[in-house]
Structure 1
Amino acid sequence: MAARIDEFLIGVKPQREWGWLVISYLFLGGAGAGLFLISLYLDHAWAGLLGLLVLMLGTLLLLLDLGRPERFWRAFFRPWTSWISRGCFFITLMVLFGALQIA
């Protein structure tokens, strides 16, 4: 008895294309977090502050991309449902711990 190929296929879900705001958020989030971590290694507090500001600017762009920005808080209650939600969760932690580090 031969197996049919459709028994091994995984269903594909259509994805919505991300716009320039989300792409900018991903770039600025990575650049800001990287700058902050490098500033810890080199012991430059001003670079750490700049890294956090770049990270927060990227997060603002993500909020602007939302269809209903007033519902952003929902991402924190289901952080494991999408990569954007996970990013919101970890960026919040990064900003909180970064602010404590700089203070």
Structure 2
Amino acid sequence: MAARIDEFLIGVKPQREWGWLVISYLFLGGAGAGLFLISLYLDHAWAGLLGLLVLMLGTLLLLLDLGRPERFWRAFFRPWTSWISRGCFFITLMVFFGALQIA
């Protein structure tokens, strides 16, 4: 007895595509974090500073993507509700501890 295809279907949840600002944030965030970690290995403080600046530029692009940028602080009070919110939380930690490392 063959099963019908409609027996296996579940509700479809529409997804929202990301714009170029979020894509740029993901690229710059990864590039900045990678540059910072490589600078730690090679002991080049200037490259670590450049990595943090690239990371902060990516974060600025993420803030520009928000519909209401003045509400960005809300992401920090519920960091486990979305991946973008988690990213904001961990980027803030990385910039803070990265600045301590460079200083």
Q: Distance in 1 between matches of 2:76 and 2:5?
A: 39
CA 1:46–1:78 in structure 2 vs 1: closer, same or farther (change >3 Å)?
same
Could you say which residue in structure 2 is the equivalent of 1:85? 85
Unaligned runs of at least 5 residues, structure 2: none
Shift of 1:12: 4.0
Structure 1 outlier segments of 4+, above 3 Å: 1-12
For the residue of structure 2 that corresponds to 1:81, the secondary structure is: coil
Q: Distance in 2 between matches of 1:37 and 1:9?
A: 45
Number of residue equivalences: 103
CA 1:44–1:10 in structure 2 vs 1: closer, same or farther (change >3 Å)?
farther
Deviations 1:1-22 (A, max 9, x none): 9999888766542221100000
Q: Distance in 2 between matches of 1:78 and 1:96?
A: 20
CA 1:90–1:8 in structure 2 vs 1: closer, same or farther (change >3 Å)?
farther
Shift of 1:54: 0.1
Q: Distance in 1 between matches of 2:102 and 2:56?
A: 15
CA 1:13–1:88 in structure 2 vs 1: closer, same or farther (change >3 Å)?
same
Does 2:26 align with 1:26?
yes
Q: Cα RMSD over matched residues? A: 1.9
Q: What pairs up with 1:6-45 in 2 under 5 angstroms?
A: 11-45=11-45
CA 1:100–1:11 in structure 2 vs 1: closer, same or farther (change >3 Å)?
farther
Deviations 1:34-53 (A, max 9, x none): 00000000000000000000
Q: Percent identity at matched positions? A: 99
Q: Distance in 2 between matches of 1:94 and 1:102?
A: 12
Moved more, 12-21 or 33-42: 12-21
For the residue of structure 2 that corresponds to 1:94, the secondary structure is: helix
